[in-house]
Chains A and B, each alone.
Chain A
Amino acid sequence: MSAPVEVVLSADSAGQLFNCAVFDPHSGSEFLSYRGGNTSSRSLTVLNGEYILGAQLGKNFINVWEIQRKDQLQQKIVCPGIVTCLCASPDGLYVLAGIAEAIYLWEMSTGNLLAILSRHYQDVSCIRFTDDSSHFVSGGKDNLALIWNLSSVVQLDSSRTPEPCHILSRHSLPITDIHCGLMGPQARVATASLDQTVKVWEVSSGEMLLSVLFDVGIMSVTFDPCEYFLFCGGSDGNIFQVSLCSTSLSRDKTFQTDSDGNQVFKGHRNLVTCLSVSMDGTLLLSGSNDETVRMWDVQSKQCIWSINHKGHVTNAVIIPAPANMFLADSHPAVPLPRFSRHLNPSEQGDGTGSGGMCLRLGASTQHFGLKTTDFKPLKCNRQQKRTHFACF
């Protein structure tokens, strides 16, 4: 069997059968499952195609599996608090975790804790990176969504606390989900909220482009890759499809009446908590609190298959299949470091430093790619295996 291009990764809150499992997006058959514990909502992420990270529900650690060794729990990363959301950057260099009101940023190569961002007033509910890892967006239960520039956050300037580039404050109830479109810093971000709206923003300017008001609170949101459609999972179990380019659409749909059922995916009986669209924009994956994961055909809005879980579905996502996933004898290129629990471990000095250098941008650079003169060298106690210039 040739390896599939995309796979479905899903997890539930019960964790009876497995913590998370990998399915075929077309048939719904199970490929692999990873055991041990369960995963809380919006905290399952694949790091660099080599590890799967999932925050334990209600506990203060993160479960880590090597992606090819499904049975064995690789390690547990102990965190300072209960992890509410987790996200690894697409380039695999950083990991962000929302722990209570604060966002923790770790560097993957060293395990150093680079920053603790506490600009949210209440629990962080969701964090998403842009596809080029240059920015990230965090949304919290305090109705705020913040857009951060990664390079300004990792700046080595202790006198200045990092500020978000934009504060999106137009929601009036907690933010439930965030989806970041493609195109790096020029991407659009969709935020879903319990205030029954979905809002689309521009990352670069922080301006709101669109606000759609629904009848029910929205628990999850996603774009298709072309950003033709916005899919919004409601708290009543319906999935609403908003077409963002309706002029081009009307040409094809002259003979259809826009009746009510036409733009709604009906099938779930409870909150739709996760949504994800496949690479080609034809399949929509949804996970719900009614303990099912369903795959939909976007064009005809029919359910293709559905898988029953044993608890609320906490994560369901379509991802490109990592190369290592189906090669049992492969192993990660980089071993996972110990995650530090405190800021600036080098200053606390456990003294085993062996000449590794950590390079970070200086204070005056606003955006990546502007200046290369401000790098400040800093002693670091771990062997450096990866250069960091790639991310800047």
Chain B
Amino acid sequence: MKTKKQKRQGDFQKIQLKVGKKKPKADNATNVNFRSKAIHLPEQLKHADSGPTTHRQLDIKDLLSKLHHINSNIKQGALVGLRELLSAQPTLIELHASAVLSEVAALFTDKDGSVRAAAVRLLRFIAQCISAERVAPFFPLLSAHLTCAMTHISEAIQEDALRVLDVLLEHYPGLLSQRHTVLLTNFLELISQKRKAGTGQDKSGKGGFALTISTNRSVTAQQWRLTVLLRLGSFLQAVVEERPLEEGVTSMIGLGMWAGEKGSVTSVDVSWEEHVFGKGRIQVFENSGAVPTPHSTYRLRPDSKAVAGMNKELCSAETVQGFAGTLVPLMLEIWVEAAGGDRVQTDSGHLLSAEAMALMFQILTILQLLRRLTPQRDQQDILDAWFRNSYLTDFKHHFMKNFPYGLLEVARHRKKADGKRIRQQQVATGTVAGGNVEPLALNVTLCQVMVTLSLRGQDHVEAEDADWLGTIRVFIRETLSNGGKLSSKHLAALLEVVWRMIVTQRSRVVTDDLLQAVYVQYQQRNLAVSVRTLLLHFFSQLYIQEHQNHPHIARSRILARWLASLPVQLVQLCSRNPQLSAQLLETIHPAAARGNKDLLQSLQKNACSIYDPQEGSVVVLPVESQKRLVQILHFLPTFPAELLACLSQVCNTGRVSASLATMLIRTIHLRSPLSGWSSSSQDVPVKDVDYLSFFFTTLTGFSSEMLQALQDTDEDGLMPSSTLSPLSVFTTTLEQFLHHWDVVEEVCHCLDTLGSRAQCFDVIQNAIIKNLCGLVVVPDCVCAAILRCVPRLLDVNFLPSDTLLHFLSDCCLSMLSLLLQLEQSARKRDAVWEACFAAMSTVPRLLRLVLQSLHVGDLCEEELPVLAQILSLLLQHTQLRNHMMANASLLQHIIQDLTHFYGGETREQWLTDLLYCYSVTLSGHRANMGMRDIY
């Protein structure tokens, strides 16, 4: 018990506090001897998933919400922040495209200039990042805001709206061009205002708009108009270019009219080899061929639907007329102001400031584009007629008034007088938007616009137009023929004007006048390749396309002269510029096919240089051009002997592929009356004598000079003559041999199809005897060729002369021993064997002669194995077996001699082989005989 009491006391022990003593610390007292530091929390904590932020820690939501802030500085800051954020994190753009675009677009009409500028900058940045397809859904919104800004009452906002337009034009021309209905009127309102209905100004036919002049702009009215027109020009350009291309609609203006025909059906192209070996499977007909392709112009009844859908698009003549009806009068007013405001004196009305010139150039460009808005040809004609009816007098009055002494004179005059100062001025004024426009560009564009107004060949109109067309003609002639070099852009425009004038005016004088000027330009030396190509293209298309329809073009002397100069140019050009040569050939070929006399004469004259085997075009140009050249041969009026000599060498030198050489040979074959193809033969393009000598020369492959030179050389390739090889054979390279082999094949084929085989063979035989029989050194390909052609051409009833047969037997023996002694490629060996055996089996006398010439006694020891090999080869050949049997006694004699003269103790392999072959052949023969005896 006591313990319990003690314990209780221990728990609640009372501590007595006394004065002067320290108070003991309580057990639960806090130890405060530590130091603490402050923790700063300058920002509030963010959620972890808030995403990236700007350097001010603002995320995209904050920034977007700040765009609605009333303070413009904050708005601008938010725009800058957005740009920073989006450039750091490009992925955000795609995520928030809708929000960002709609907010930014809303700021196009902000009343603070810096905010608008920042908005435009942001838009430009975004536009660089997002493709047109992704913007397309938001584009109605963008364009609505753009329209809003363009029609805004504040002029500063209008000006900035054009910057927005610039950005959109640069990046989304296609999308923007779809909004033309709204935008075009906006453009009009930027520089003009609607007249009041009551003023009754419409009588003057100048539309319902009047130019506005506001005094409180930062720029002059002219500059403002220039900026607007620049944008309008580029907008129309976008409309023209971004239009989905329709089938069969080629813009007939500009160089587009020279574009070649485009097949809208992809045709199947196969070659025979591919087809035969199953690679080129052909499936020609869609829908089993029952339905024609949709491109067919053949309609059983006219399509009524096609017309209805046009109106909405800006491509029918009516819509363009509607717009042009208001725009053109405005532009005329601007023109008048630009021209008149500058100089008051009438005598120097053609001198313009750079700014006015830029303005005028823009006006003309827009006029040109307006015309191009209609893609269809018929619509374009309607539009042209409309322009002519409505505005010809105005245009003539305003545009052409100062043209004759013209703007070109300005440049000249200035350069002469005080060129340096003017140039400084130009530099100074050139900073105006729209840049500096060359007077030449302005003039040329003016010509282009005016010329479209001239109508196609109607006599009463021609007289009317004569005055202003005359001045244009003079200008063009002088520009082209004053010897200056023109850039390809200006030249293209000038050529277009020339083309149009030639086609519309239908007068031979005009045509020759203009073409002469172009020809002068063409004849200049050292033209840039692009310019040269352009000129060439102009002439060739003029010839090919318009030749038939317009007799005045066909009769033009200049065109004839140009055509006649083409072959000469081809020769001169040589291999320097294959593209240009190919282009020349593209004209020469159809012109030759059409039998153009001038061209053919000139071609005939230059044929020997074009087809020269050493440096003629036919050997130096690439394969495609070579092929064309060979095809052109087909149209040559006559083939004189020199040309045929050239061609024969071309076939054999190996610089033309074997297939092309074959084509060449066939062409000559077909042109000859001997081939029996061309029935009407008043004039003989290839004389029979020339024809045969061509074929013989091609057959041998060596000209007589070359053969003669060969007799005296002692090269490595030469095999000396011996008993086994009566001729000393000159071995050619494998490449040459095979090429020649292919050529020989074609020659044989052509000669084979001639009418009278006996006469043909007689001629060839005489040629061989005359040209080849006396030779000591003969190239192996010649031997092979002769051996090849003789059996093919030999008529059954014709007896070949002894001289020929002796020569053939020499050839045969020489070739056989050559093959056995030298290492040859398999192809060559096969070819030669085939030729030899074919010759010997067709002409049995030849085999006999070969055997007779084998005098074993004259041979030296080393040659015996070769002889034995030749004999066994002959014996092994089945086709020859019967003929060998016919000469059995001769054969037996040779073999006896062979074994007799071979003095070796051991029986060599070659001898065993020969004896084996001999016995097999003979036994087979005897067996046959035996069988025959039995029956």
Contact surface of A with B, Cβ cutoff 8 Å = 13, 40-41, 57-58, 82, 84, 119, 121-123, 141-144, 165, 169, 172-174, 185-186, 188, 194-196, 199-200, 202-217, 219, 227, 235-237, 240, 242-247, 250, 258, 260, 262-263, 269-271, 289-290, 312, 367, 369-370
Contacts and interface: CB of A to CB of B under 8 A. Distances in A.
Contact of A205 (B293, B631, B675): B293
B593 interface: yes
B267 A207 contact: yes
Contact of A212 (B271, B590, B680): B271
Contacts, number: 156
Given A58-B679, A174-B634, 8 more contacts: A57-B679, A207-B263, A212-B272, A214-B271, A237-B753, A244-B283, A244-B284, A263-B276
B121 to A, nearest CB: 51
Would you list the 6 A-B pairs with minimal beta carbon distance, nearest first?
A121-B594, A204-B298, A205-B296, A204-B296, A207-B265, A213-B271
Contacts of B297: 165, 204-206
A270 B265 CA distance: 36
Interface in B260-295: 261, 263-265, 267-273, 275-278, 281-285, 289, 292-293, 295
A205 B292 contact: yes
Contacts of B752: 269
Contacts of B663: 196
A163 to B, nearest CB: 9
A41 B278 contact: no
6 contacts: A196-B663, A204-B297, A205-B265, A210-B268, A215-B272, A289-B677
Interface of B: 261, 263-265, 267-273, 275-278, 281-285, 289, 292-293, 295-302, 548, 589-590, 593-595, 628, 631, 634, 659, 663, 666, 670, 675-677, 679-680, 749, 752-753
Contact of B263 (A141, A208, A246, A247): A208
Contacts of B666: 216-217, 235
Contact of B269 (A41, A165, A213, A247): A213
Contacts of A13: 676, 679
Contacts of B261: 169
Contact of A84 (B292, B677, B680): B680
A270 B752 CA distance: 9
A212 B753 contact: no
Contact of A194 (B270, B282, B634): B634
Given A173-B634, A242-B282, A246-B281, A211 B298 contact: no
A57 B548 CA distance: 30
A258 B276 contact: yes
B290 to A, nearest CB: 8
Contacts of A195: 631
B271 A209 contact: no
Nearest to B261: A169
Contact of A202 (B293, B595, B631, B670): B293
A143 B679 contact: no
Contact of A208 (B265, B272, B275, B276): B265
A217 B273 CA distance: 15
Nearest to A188: B289
B753 A271 contact: yes
B285 A227 contact: yes
Given A194-B634, A208-B263, A142 B595 contact: yes
A122 B278 CA distance: 38
Given A194-B670, A205-B296, A258 B277 contact: yes
A202 B261 CA distance: 16
Contacts of B634: 173-174, 194
A208 to B, nearest CB: 4
Nearest to A144: B593
Given A82-B680, A123-B680, A367 B272 contact: no
A207 to B, nearest CB: 4
Contacts of A208: 263, 265, 267
A195 B593 CA distance: 12
Contacts of B593: 121-122, 141-144, 174
Contacts of B675: 271
A245 B285 CA distance: 8
